[in-house]
């Protein structure tokens, strides 16, 4: 499991963030889910292939619990994607199917639903259902014999401002960053307080590909009153400092390279001068030996 993949999971794993995502993206702003209703569900399932036992792992899974009865209402899976996956419906079916398989002995099975959070800059052009992945091998098969399975894909960079304003968790800052970077190429952050500082910065680093977000984590205090605009100001300072450091290092390297080349030239001129003074070698032979231009050798006076 890559570090980037892990970073993408951390923020959504918080129940206040997961509940907020469900309320905004699934319930159109209705506050139907509370963080207390969400409990951790297993993200690992097993399947047998070629006589061997294999594991598959979701990004995040949450049980939705009825607070009155403490019974499981449903299981929600969250898959984070920074790139388009043409086989995403097949993956989701595998995750959901494993969850249903584990309920074979349940007296009252519950529903399983998966939500794909896509953080890419370009539109999701891949299939959103099973039939989009399947090549039709025979047109004679009637539609009544074709199964389908749809997946729920949310393109975070294409959310409306109205949707962004509905978020009440730290996911708002990630969503507004993705939308603004796509539309304006610049990010003007909100001034709200960030609750999960470490997780927000790691997710921004993962979806943007910019490590400067993670580099400022030691500079901010987890759990304190840290605002997003203050964090971005520190991010820009860090980026500027790194840019200046790179510029200075590049200047030193170029200076050292120039000094080395100048020293080699001076050494070649000294050798050429001594050869003209103490031997009968032709200018052409000296130029070939010292790798100096012939005109430069001819200009040497002894």
Give the predicted TM-score (pTM) of the model: 0.72
pLDDT tops 60 at residue 171: yes
Q: Residue 173 and residue 230: Cα distance in Å, rounded?
A: 13
Average the pLDDT over 40-57 and give the result: 65
Of 173 and 139, the structure prediction assigns the larger pLDDT to 173
First to last CA, the chain: 71
Higher pLDDT pick, 244 / 278: 278
Looking at residue 138, its pLDDT comes to 65
**Residue 63: pLDDT over 90:** yes
SS (H, E, C) the chain: CCHHHHHHHHHHCCHHHHHHHHHHHHCCCCCCCCHHHEEECCCEEEEEECCEEEEEECCEEEEEECCCCCCEEEEEEEEEECCCCCCHHHHHHHHHHHHHHCCCCCCCCCEEEEEEEECCCCCCCCCCEHHHHCCCCCCCCCHHHCCCCECEEEEHHHCCHHHHHHCCCCHHHHHHHHHHHHHCCCCCCCCCEECCHHHHHHHHHHHHCCCHHHHCHHHCCCCCCEEHHHHHHHHHHHHHHHHHHHHHHHHHHHHHHHHHHHHHHHHHHHHHHHHHHHCCCCHHHHHHHHCCCHHHHHCCCC
**For the residues 189-218, what does the mean pLDDT come to?**
84
Distances (CA, A) of 9 to 5, 29, 206, 278, 284: 7, 23, 10, 76, 70
In sequence order, the 6+-apart residues with CB closer than 8 A to the CB of 104 are: none
| Token reading at 241 | 């400092």
- The token pair at 47 is 């399947």
Among 18-27, 66-75, 264-273, name the one with the lowest average pLDDT: 264-273
All structural domains of the chain with their residue ranges: 3-188, 191-302
Q: What is the mean pLDDT of residues 207-211?
A: 84
pLDDT > 90 in the chain, percent:
40
Contact 113, 152 (CB under 8 A): yes
Higher pLDDT, 211 or 17: 17
Average pLDDT over residues 9-37: 94
CB of 160 closer than 8 Å to CB of 178: no
Report residue 76 as tokens: 């929600």
Cα torsion angle, 85, 91, 96, 97, sign: positive
Q: How confident is the model at residue 84 (pLDDT cuts 50, 70, 90)?
A: very high
pLDDT beyond 90 at 122 = yes
For residues 184-204, average pLDDT: 86
For 291, residues 6+ apart whose C-beta sits below 8 A from its C-beta are 268
Q: Is the pLDDT of residue 50 over 70?
A: no
Distances (CA, A) of 8 to 4, 14, 202: 6, 12, 7
Question: Are 88 and 58 within 8 A, CB to CB?
Answer: no
């Amino acid at each position: 499991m890559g570090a980037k993949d892990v970073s993408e999971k951390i923020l959504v794993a918080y129940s206040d963030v997961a509940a907020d995502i469900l309320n905004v993206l699934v319930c159109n702003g209705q506050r139907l889910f509370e963080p207390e209703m969400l409990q951790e569900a297993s993200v690992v399932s097993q399947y047998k292939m070629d006589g061997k036992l294999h594991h598959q792992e979701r990004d995040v899974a949450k049980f939705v619990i009825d607070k009155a009865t403490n019974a499981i209402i449903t299981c929600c899976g969250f898959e984070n994607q920074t790139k388009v996956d043409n086989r995403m419906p097949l993956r989701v079916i595998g995750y959901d199917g494993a969850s249903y398989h584990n309920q074979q002995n349940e007296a009252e099975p519950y529903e399983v639903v998966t939500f794909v959070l896509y953080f890419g800059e370009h539109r999701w052009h891949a299939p959103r259902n099973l039939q989009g992945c399947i090549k039709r091998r025979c047109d004679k098969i009637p539609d009544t014999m074709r199964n389908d399975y749809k997946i729920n894909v949310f393109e975070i960079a294409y959310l409306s401002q109205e949707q962004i304003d509905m978020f009440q968790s730290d996911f708002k800052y990630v969503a507004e960053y993705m939308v603004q970077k796509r539309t304006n190429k610049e990010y003007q952050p909100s001034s709200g307080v960030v609750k999960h500082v470490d997780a927000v910065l790691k997710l921004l680093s993962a979806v943007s590909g910019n490590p400067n977000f993670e580099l400022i984590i030691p500079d901010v205090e987890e759990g304190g009153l840290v605002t997003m605009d203050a964090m971005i100001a520190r991010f820009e300072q860090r980026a500027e400092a790194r840019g200046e450091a790179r510029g200075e290092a590049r200047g030193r390297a170029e200076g050292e390279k120039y000094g080395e080349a100048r020293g080699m030239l001076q050494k070649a001129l000294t050798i050429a001068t001594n050869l003209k003074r103490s031997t009968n070698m032709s200018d052409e032979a000296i130029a070939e030996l010292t790798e100096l231009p012939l005109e430069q050798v001819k200009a040497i006076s002894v």
